[in-house]
Amino acid sequence: MQGRRVVITGLGALTPVGNNVPQYWDALSNGVSGSDWITHFDTTHFKTKFACEVKNFDATAYFDRKNVRKLDPFVQYGIVAADEAMADAAFNLENEDLSRFGVIMGSGIGGIHVFAEEVTSFVEGGKIPRMNPFFITKMIIDIGAGQISIKYGLRGPNYSAVSACATSSNCIIDAFMLIKFGYADMMLAGGSEAPITEMGVGGFNAMKALSENNEEYKSASRPFDVRRDGFVIGEGAGCLVLEEYEHAVARGAKIYAEIAGIGLSADAHHITAPDPEGLGTTQVMRNALKDAEISAEDVDYINVHGTSTPLGDVSESNAIKRVFGEHAHKLNISSTKSMTGHLLGAAGAIEAIAGVLAIKNSLIPPTINFEQADPECDLNYTFNKAQERVVNVAISNTFGFGGHNTSIILKKPDFVSGK
């Protein structure tokens, strides 16, 4: 579909394996696991006792104490990632039309931490309604986008998308379309999540989605390994600066990659389980390739959703084989969730960043923790060690509970498809 070109000119990340983009990429390149014992709460009575927490994060290093009290951790994480992305993009905001600069930052769950605190306080207080005056503004999902726009004075489109684990990819896709069709020139887009709480871990345990492999907690996130038993929950944020190509060139911006096309679809199958044949995921990748006008044979790398669940990994593998045919076995594929865990609504953003950096550095990050093959997963998943490869085109796949599917195609700005 014709429209303006959209490029990526800034990156920001706060993850379980690195508190900024350089640290994050170094950890991915070296196959570092972010999984460890949960420190945020007492796990004595929980089936899962480990997670991928952000390490060594001191909110007072980024915010004054007044704002620490006003901001839920998911908002703090999102602002920190946005700050890094803005610094990386190196704008002189005095020279920009800020009515053309917007923010779309989402979250799958939002302020679950403050919500649980306030309910507990209400119940233990004899049901006297003495609520924190910042309760609502700490909890609501859109507040991250709002806080970022206020900080930088960005008056363009401002909202949040919510589609469970596909959230931040949907935010990037929305930002892409707003720029492509002329509603904005610059956008901050991504997502943040802070779900490692009693309610978050307990809820996912109850639905049997999390790994309970406490004996092997460091390697429990093992996508495509036959012994996988569920995902490892993670936290953090990712943010990208999207910019209209001519605008970026005119200001001499560093351009990491171009968003060539996007795909959207629904499984229309089940609230949590993927379609076993991968019909929705097949459609979303085909939609993205068509939108980008790129041949399937041009794709070098797919950063897959790859959550380490028994059904999901097989379904996505089947979809890749259906879309790419013989070329499916020539692709490099990896699930960086093997290192970061699953950041839910923030997953798509940090994984899109991984795809961008794979293009920039000609390096495929690995899928770690692999030991035993699953005969139903027979593609090149880049197991255990990063692989050097020129990457002209990469795909970032992200799927969410409810059957929400997204696919983003990234490419070198000067790459032209042979299609």
Q: What is the pLDDT of residues 115-173, one digit of tens each?
A: 998 888 888 877 677 788 899 999 999 999 999 999 999 999 999 999 999 999 999 99
Q: Counting Cβ atoms within 10 Å, is residue 44 exposed (0-12), middle (13-18) or buried (19+)?
A: exposed
Q: Report the C-alpha gap between 224 and 215 in whole angstroms.
A: 19
Encode pLDDT of 55-80 as tens digits. 999 999 999 999 999 999 999 999 99
Neighbours of 25 (CB within 10 A): 23
List 52, 113, 239, 342, catalytic entry: 342
- What pLDDT shows up at residue 148? 98
Q: Report the C-alpha gap between 126 and 296 in whole angstroms.
A: 61
Phi, psi (deg, nearest 5) at residue 248: -65, -45
List 165, 171, 239, 377, catalytic entry: 165
Q: Report the C-alpha gap between 297 and 330 in whole angstroms.
A: 9
Phi, psi (deg, nearest 5) at residue 276: -60, -30
Q: What kind and span of H or E run contains 104? A: strand 101-106
List 247, 305, 377, 404, catalytic entry: 305
For the segment 13-41, the average pLDDT, to the nearest whole number, is 98
Encode pLDDT of 37-52 as tens digits. 999 999 999 999 999 9
Q: Are 387 and 233 in contact (CB under 8 A)?
A: no
Q: Report the C-alpha gap between 221 and 231 in whole angstroms.
A: 6
342 is catalytic: yes
Sequence-ordered alpha helix ranges (H) in 35-72: 65-70
Q: Are 87 and 79 in contact (CB under 8 A)?
A: no
pLDDT beyond 90 at 418: no
Q: What is the pTM of this model?
A: 0.97
Q: Are 24 and 13 in contact (CB under 8 A)?
A: yes
Q: Which domains does the chain have, with CATH numbers?
A: 7-250 (3.40.47.10), 261-406 (3.40.47.10)
